[in-house]
Homo-oligomer: A and B are copies of this chain.
Amino acid sequence: MANSKYLTPAVADVDLIIEAHWIATMAADFAVLEDHAVVVHDGLIVAVLPSEAAKQAFRAAELVNLGEQALLPGLINAHTHAAMSLLRGMADDLPLMTWLEQRIWPAEQALVSPQFVQDGSLLACAEMLSGGITCFNDMYFFPQATAAAASQAGMRANLGLLVLDFPSAYASDADDYLQKGFDAHDSWRNNPLISSSIAPHAPYTVSDRSLEKVITYAEQLALGLHTHLHETLEEISRSESQYGMRPLARLAKLGLLGPDLLAAHGVHLLDYEMDMLAAYGCHIAHCPSSNLKLASGMAPVVDLLAKGVNVALGTDGAASNNRLDLFSEIRLAALLAKGVSADASALPAMQALAMATINGAKAIGLDEKIGSIEVGKHADLTAVRLDEVLLAPYYDPISHLVYCCGREQVSHTWVAGELRYCNGVYANIEPQELKDIVNTWQVKIQQVKQPTK
């Protein structure tokens, strides 16, 4: 039924109308709209209204009728290292330090270059777009190469300006990392899809002095912060030995805590530490698959949410997951929270979906632009085949999206109103290009791969 309050006096010309049986808006009221349409112009959502009313009020250059499908805000991967897709499965079933010191770091030392990062990031962008992810929050060497890949794919990315205190192929010391970061930041200044955060890798790899610089620059440039935090018990005990305090306390002392800080993992948190995170307005990127696979533990997500901490969802890198698949993470987060809290009503489906959409947008400071389907936001959208007979029946679209659908049900992915992926085909990525990337790097990686397991 057309609702008169939506009607504009004259028919307006717009770029695109997308009709869907279900629209999960993920707006403040978590409204799920039935038989509605999203009207898109110049990359923005200009109206959300009943389908019939949309077609009366707007004349679209393109009309996409999704039939029985569901339309969601594009998923937001709040913590990843996209380029590590090339290291997917190169080492599994190993304890964290063996994995890191004997496999991942040697491979990175031997191989990481701008080309490695661009190629690996493009492969990751293809995987993420096909799984309904429209935006990723990254941290890796050579972020300009990641920006190039994201730009080719047409994805939105918030790229970390990595800071470490040890040298790499990318930079020599913290000052050099910062300078290279700022150069990168300048390079994508005019790219509307790329934004920056400063990314001190982790408390155990960045000194107090470097962290102080990070804060100064973050304030000057009004940039958010992205770091790993309280991922493992070893990280915490190391900090206690070295600094006489837990990592979170150290970050608090140095002044890093605040609503601009997104901390990945947060697996091991004491009750008062969760209160601190809530009081400071920090965000957590929960990465359940990675935390289980590396045996880091299970983050206290239910407690964090109860205390009012904003919790987003991340895949982490493909070396520790091994799928850049937020549908898997949404389902796992919802299941794991119930198991850990011994409460089957914990982290219900809508809240799990919020973690992968609006919470992710808040965590990276882009919630004015993305994370929900609302007028004025950018048209980052994902369509899901909710109605496949093998998944039938369903009674609640949100439950079905979270507990039953997989990324294989994603049919369309739009970023800023542009269709970037549709049923196996990318707007700007050729399958042969991906095959060439894999063939090239697989040989090189196998050469540095340790023979023992």
Contacts and interface: CB of A to CB of B under 8 A. Distances in A.
Q: Which residue of A93, A123, A336 has the most chain B CB atoms within 10 A of its CB atom?
A: A93
Contact of A295 (B96, B99, B292, B341): B341
Contacts of A390: 123, 126-127, 130, 434
Interface residues of A, number: 62
Copies in the complex: 2
A241 interface: no
Contact of A348 (B92, B126, B294, B297): B92
A369 interface: no
Given A86-B393, A123-B392, A395-B90, A293 B446 contact: no
Nearest to A298: B339
A345 B95 contact: yes
A10 interface: no
Given A92-B399, A332-B332, A342 B392 contact: no
Interface string A423-438: 0000000010011001
A251 interface: no
A449 interface: yes
A349 interface: yes
A291 interface: yes
Contacts of A95: 343-345
A89 B393 contact: yes
B339 A94 contact: no
A89 B338 contact: no
Contacts of A94: 344-345
A367 to B, nearest CB: 25
A204 interface: no
Interface string A331-362: 01001101101111110110000000000000
A348 B91 CA distance: 11
17 contacts: A89-B393, A92-B348, A92-B403, A94-B344, A94-B345, A95-B343, A292-B335, A293-B338, A293-B344, A294-B344, A297-B342, A321-B403, A322-B399, A323-B406, A393-B442, A395-B445, A408-B408
